[in-house]
C-alpha cells in the first residue's frame, strides 16, 4: 500500500527507492534519465513489453530491473592517429564490415572475422531451430559483446517483410543499428528502391538507425539520407558476383554529396578492389562472399584488411595528378 505521503517503496536494479504512487514504468524510466524506448524492463521477474510501459503502474514492493543492450566493445576510447569513423553515434576503428554467411562452419567464420580485424558483422535474422535447440549458434563463436552485430534483411523483397524482420531483431536483441536491403528480384539481387525508400522512412520513424543497401544513384542516395538513412551503401557490382567496382564515377558522386557515411556493399572480389573503394573516399567496405568463398578464407580476410587500410591511407595521402606524358623522377641536369 502507498505510504501516507503518497509514495511507494520499490527496488530498482538492487537499489531501494521511494517514488510517487501511480507512476508508470515509462515515467519511472524517464525520471531515471533513460529513454523508455531504448530499455527493457522486468517487473517482479516478468518482462514488460515496451509497448505497455506507459500503462503499467509501479506498486509498493515491486522489484524492477531495467537493462539495455550493448552491441559491442567500447568504441569511444581514444585512438592514436585517430582515423576512426562514426555511424549513428557509434565509433569504430576498422572500416571493414564482414558477413557471416557461406562459411563451412562457425569456427571458420570466427577465424576469418578475427583475421579481418572487423568490429561489425552482418547477421541474418532467421527462425530459431526448434527441432534442435542445442544446435551450435553464431553467438557461441562470435561474441556480440566484443563484435557489433548488424542485423540485416537479406532475402526480403517487400518493405513489409523487411520491417517485420527488423522489429523482431530489435525485440530479440535490442538492436537499432541495422542493415536494410529490399531486393527487387532474385536473379540480379538489385535493390527495389521504391520499397527501400518506403521501409527506410518507416524504420527511421520507429527509432531504427538503418544503414541502407542501394543502387549507385546519387539522387536515390540523397533521398535515402533525407528520410533517415544513417549510412548509404551502394553496390559496386551485383551481390556475390566478385566483379569489382563497376561504377567509380557514380560512387564518387555519392561520396561527395553525402552527409552520412558511404560504404560499398557488394561486388568486391579481392583486396585490390577493396582498396579502390577506399581510394574513392568511401568510409568503409562491406563484404561476405569474397572472403567466405576464397580458397583460404582466413588468409583472404587478412588481405582484405590490408587492402582497406592501404586504400584509406592512399585516399588520405592524396594521389599524384595524372599527366599525358612522362615526367622523369631523376633530374636531367648534370648528366654524364
* Tens of pLDDT, residues 88-122: 999 999 999 999 888 888 899 999 999 999 999 99
CA gap 208, 37 in Å, rounded: 11
pLDDT in tens, 132-145: 556 677 888 888 88
Catalytic annotation, pick one of 38, 102, 179, 259: 179
Which phi and psi angles does 161 have, rounded to 5°?
-65, -40
Q: Among 9-13, 46-50, 144-148, 326-330, whose mean pLDDT is lowest?
A: 326-330
Q: What is the pLDDT of residue 271?
A: 95
For the cut 90, the answer to whether the pLDDT of residue 200 exceeds it is yes
pLDDT band at 225 (very low <50, low <70, confident <90, very high): very high
C-alpha cell, 168? 523482431
Three-class HEC string of 73-92: CCCCCCCCCCCCEEECCEEE
| Beta carbons of 277 and 248 less than 8 angstroms apart | no
pLDDT of residue 115: 95
**Which three cell numbers mark 279?**
581510394
Average pLDDT of the residues in 265-273: 93
What's the gap between Cα 232 and its chain centre? 11
Residue 134's pLDDT is 65
C-alpha cell at 280: 574513392
pLDDT at 181: 94
Indicate if the pLDDT at residue 222 is higher than 50.
Answer: yes
> Cα(225)–Cα(201) distance, rounded to whole angstroms?
10
Instruction: State the pLDDT confidence band at 304, using cuts at 50, 70 and 90.
Output: very high
Q: How far apart are CA 4 and CA 183, in angstroms?
A: 61
Catalytic residue flag (residue 305): no
- Name the band, by pLDDT with cuts 50, 70 and 90, for residue 301: very high
Q: Do residues 101 and 150 lie in contact, with contact meaning Cβ atoms separated by under 8 Å?
A: no
- Tell me if residue 122 falls in helix, strand or coil: strand
Rounded Cα gap, residues 236 and 215, in angstroms: 9
Residue 146 has pLDDT above 60, yes or no: yes
Q: Is 66 exposed, middle or buried (0-12, 13-18, 19+ CB in 10 A)?
A: middle
* CA 86/CA 54 separation, integer angstroms: 33
Which residue has better confidence, 77 or 11? 11
121-125, 222-226, 244-248: lowest mean pLDDT where? 121-125
Residue 195: its pLDDT value, please?
Answer: 96
* pTM passes above 0.75: no
Residue 7 to residue 18: CA distance in whole angstroms: 6
Q: What is the pLDDT of residue 7?
A: 85
1 band by pLDDT with thresholds 50, 70 and 90: low
Nearest of 244, 235, 214 to residue 226 by alpha carbon: 214
For residues 334 and 88, give the distance between their C-alpha atoms in angstroms, rounded to a whole number.
58
DSSP string, 215-226: -S-HHHHHHHHH
Amino acid at each position: 500500500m502507498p505510504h501516507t505521503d503518497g509514495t511507494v517503496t520499490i527496488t530498482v536494479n538492487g537499489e531501494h527507492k521511494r517514488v510517487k504512487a501511480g507512476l508508470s514504468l515509462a515515467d519511472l524510466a524517464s525520471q531515471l534519465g533513460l529513454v523508455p524506448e531504448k530499455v527493457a524492463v522486468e517487473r517482479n521477474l516478468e518482462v514488460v513489453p515496451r509497448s505497455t510501459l506507459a500503462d503499467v503502474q509501479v506498486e509498493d514492493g515491486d522489484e524492477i530491473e531495467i537493462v539495455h543492450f550493448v552491441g559491442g566493445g567500447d568504441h569511444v576510447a581514444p585512438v592514436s592517429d585517430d582515423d576512426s569513423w562514426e555511424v549513428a553515434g557509434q565509433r569504430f576503428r576498422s572500416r571493414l564490415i564482414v558477413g557471416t554467411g557461406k562459411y563451412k562452419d562457425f569456427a571458420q567464420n570466427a577465424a576469418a572475422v578475427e583475421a579481418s580485424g572487423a568490429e561489425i558483422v552482418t547477421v541474418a535474422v532467421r527462425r530459431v531451430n526448434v527441432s534442435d535447440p542445442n544446435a551450435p549458434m553464431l553467438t557461441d563463436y562470435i561474441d556480440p559483446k566484443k563484435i557489433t552485430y548488424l542485423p540485416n534483411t537479406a532475402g526480403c523483397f517487400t518493405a513489409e517483410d523487411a520491417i517485420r524482420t527488423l522489429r523482431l531483431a530489435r525485440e530479440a536483441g535490442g538492436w537499432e543499428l541495422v542493415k536494410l536491403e529490399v531486393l527487387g528480384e532474385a536473379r540480379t539481387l538489385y535493390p527495389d528502391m521504391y520499397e527501400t525508400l518506403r521501409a527506410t522512412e518507416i524504420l527511421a520513424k520507429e527509432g531504427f538507425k538503418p544503414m541502407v543497401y542501394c543502387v549507385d544513384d546519387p539522387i536515390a542516395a540523397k533521398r535515402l539520407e533525407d528520410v533517415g538513412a544513417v549510412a548509404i551503401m551502394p553496390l559496386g557490382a551485383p551481390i556475390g558476383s566478385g566483379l569489382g567496382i563497376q561504377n567509380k564515377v557514380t560512387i564518387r558522386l555519392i561520396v561527395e554529396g553525402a552527409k552520412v557515411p558511404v560504404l560499398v556493399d557488394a561486388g568486391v572480389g579481392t583486396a585490390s578492389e577493396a582498396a579502390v573503394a577506399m581510394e574513392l573516399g568511401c568510409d568503409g567496405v562491406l563484404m561476405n562472399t569474397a572472403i567466405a568463398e576464397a580458397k583460404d578464407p582466413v588468409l583472404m580476410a587478412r588481405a582484405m584488411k590490408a587492402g582497406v587500410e592501404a586504400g584509406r591511407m592512399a585516399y588520405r595521402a592524396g594521389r599524384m595528378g595524372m599527366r599525358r606524358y612522362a615526367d622523369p623522377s631523376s633530374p636531367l641536369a648534370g648528366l654524364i
